[in-house]
Structure 1
Amino acid sequence: MNYKNLNLSIIETHAHIYDEQFAEDRNEMLEKAFSNGISEIWMPNCNSETIDGMMALAGQFPEKCLPMIGLHPCYVKEDFEKELYIMEEWLGKHKFLAIGEIGMDLYWDKTFVNQQEQAFLTQCQLARKHNLWIDIHCRDAFWETVKLIEKNGDSELKGIFHCFSGGLEEAHKVIELGFLLGIGGVVTFKNGGIDKLIPEIDLKHIVLETDSPYLAPAPHRGKRNEPSYLTLVAQKIADLKQMSIEDAIRITTENALRLKG
């Protein structure tokens, strides 16, 4: 199905379309996404090295490819303060959608856990200062991230727990904090677990994402992911909620738009 024929606007809330995996066919990949009803692609930043590529796309497609700025926890090292200074410089000269992606990642390496905490808290302060929401990455660190948010009384912060992979208890905590659940290709995985969660959560708390080029949904699992596959995520959620694809897309798009204000 060509979802553009449904006259619906689909917002892709998390895609690294500046990634080198798209170097050879980036324009074709984007045209495919736009022709399938993707109206906006929200681009999370990783570190200072990814900014130029991201901003080039923002300049090429100013109404469709919207940049965030932030330091991904996997890129937090000894020099993280220098990286954050660069982020703050950019915030002073350009308009960004959000601070992201930021958070905690204790899956790959716990060497810089203290620095990750400091980087996260500093970037939360930047979000408040610039009146922006935050895009959270937390892998094997959900409750650690929640603790940091609660410890600092960040009730004003809003945003997305990107690539949400927790259970019902974690989902309810995200909702209690006033955040949205970013749901992507994992919902289509046979043993991903997210398919069991979706029927228990009101759709008003969910936004759609791919995390391209990672985590491609079935039947593309294991291959390069891309924003046009977001329709597969939407269809799976619609099936699980026993509703039309039109309603699933409309509600999740409205949720995303509310973040923009």
Structure 2
Amino acid sequence: MTGLFDTHTHLYTEEFDDDRELVLARAAEAGVTHLFMPNIDDTSVEAMLALCHRHERCYPMIGLHPTSVDADWKSRLESVKLWLDSPEKFYGIGEVGLDLYWDRTFAGEQLRVFDAQIQWALERNMPLVVHCRDAYPELFGVLEPYRKTALRGIFHSFTGTAEDAARLMEYGGFMLGINGVVTFKKSSLPETLLHVPVGRIVLETDSPYLAPVPYRGKRNESAHIVKVAEKVAEIYSLSVEAVARITAENALKVFDIEA
């Protein structure tokens, strides 16, 4: 079987400090061959890079997460930019975007930070990994000027409606990131995906968050992406092997790397 690609995992965070190497070993045993690691903010870069330097199948990204946008956002964004300008190799700009679920205090600043990082992605021909929670109207507002550009990437943790999916897919260089939410009993995502070609999705875990059934409520890890692949295979009436191959090819297009 083609190896599974976890296009969004935070294995460098403190939740894995006690057993990180075992988690990576379980991922390999489960057939996960590529682990893409979006950054969170200026405080998480060194831990992420330390892990990726030890394991060649880990691919780091760089970005400032919207929930880290605060009163000190200018200096935090500049710190991230210094990393981007450094000799370190990054494979995408992420995790970036908008999150108005927890707090709207810095909503305006989030828009500015997101737009700046979109421009980084375009300037450097790098994919963009986009987080959006309770902010689709604002997201579309920021993205509209870039509709006809070469911008590409992943709309991470997609859980929207068929209408949301249709609007997002107007950005032809983007994939929808599908994770453990698709396995949840009350999720409408399986029905929504019937309107999305399998050629427009990638698989992810968002570990340590959003563990799929039967692990829901526990710490997520990359090995659990198998359960996501199984559910996606069921939705599209495909084999798990076909889902692994297609979604891996989709990820390779986004990140522009060799298999």
Match of residue 219 from structure 2: 224
Mapped partners of 2:96, 2:5: distance in 1: 20
Please point out which of 80, 84, 88 is paired with 1:87: 80
Aligned length: 254
Please point out which of 106, 114, 118 is paired with 1:112: 106
Mapped partners of 1:155, 1:78: distance in 2: 31
Mapped partners of 1:173, 1:212: distance in 2: 27
Asked whether 1:96 is paired with 2:96, we answer: no
> Secondary structure of the residue that 1:200 maps to in structure 2?
coil
> Secondary structure of the residue that 2:44 maps to in structure 1?
helix
Cα deviation, residue 230, structure 1: 0.3
Which amino acid in 2 is paired with 1:190? Answer: K
Mapped partners of 2:81, 2:124: distance in 1: 10
Match of residue 19 from structure 2: 25
Cα deviation, residue 153, structure 1: 5.0
Which amino acid in 2 is paired with 1:70? Answer: G
Stretch of structure 1 that moved more, 21-30 or 189-198: 189-198
> Secondary structure of the residue that 1:89 maps to in structure 2?
helix
Cα deviation, residue 177, structure 1: 1.2
Structure 2 length normalisation: TM-score? Answer: 0.96
Cα deviation, residue 199, structure 1: 2.2
Over the aligned positions, Cα root-mean-square deviation in angstroms equals 1.0
Match of residue 3 from structure 1: none
Match of residue 235 from structure 1: 230
Cα deviation, residue 198, structure 1: 1.9
**Is the CA contact (8 Å cut-off) linking 1:76 and 1:115 kept in structure 2?**
yes
**Is the CA contact (8 Å cut-off) linking 1:14 and 1:41 kept in structure 2?**
yes
Unaligned runs of 5+ in 1: 1-5
Cα deviation, residue 143, structure 1: 2.2
- Deviation per CA, 1:190-220: give whole Å up to 9, x if none: 1011111122211000000000000000000
Match of residue 133 from structure 1: 127
**Is the CA contact (8 Å cut-off) linking 2:162 and 2:193 kept in structure 1?**
no
- Deviation per CA, 1:103-158: give whole Å up to 9, x if none: 00000000000100000011111111221110000000112112101135562211
Structure 1 length normalisation: TM-score? Answer: 0.95
> Secondary structure of the residue that 1:16 maps to in structure 2?
coil
Could you list the runs of 4 or more consecutive aligned residues of structure 1 that deviate by over 6 angstroms after TM superposition? none
> Secondary structure of the residue that 2:211 maps to in structure 1?
coil
Mapped partners of 2:42, 2:84: distance in 1: 13
Match of residue 41 from structure 1: 35
> Any residues of structure 2 matched to 1:138-217 within 5 Å, and which?
138-153=132-147, 155-178=149-172, 179-217=174-212
> Secondary structure of the residue that 1:49 maps to in structure 2?
coil
| Distance change in 2, residues 1:152/1:159 (3 Å) | closer
What's the % identity of the aligned pairs?
43
Mapped partners of 1:16, 1:98: distance in 2: 14
Which amino acid in 2 is paired with 1:88? Answer: K
Which amino acid in 1 is paired with 2:75? Answer: K
Match of residue 46 from structure 2: 52
Mapped partners of 1:229, 1:218: distance in 2: 9
Which amino acid in 1 is paired with 2:141? Answer: K
Match of residue 69 from structure 1: 62
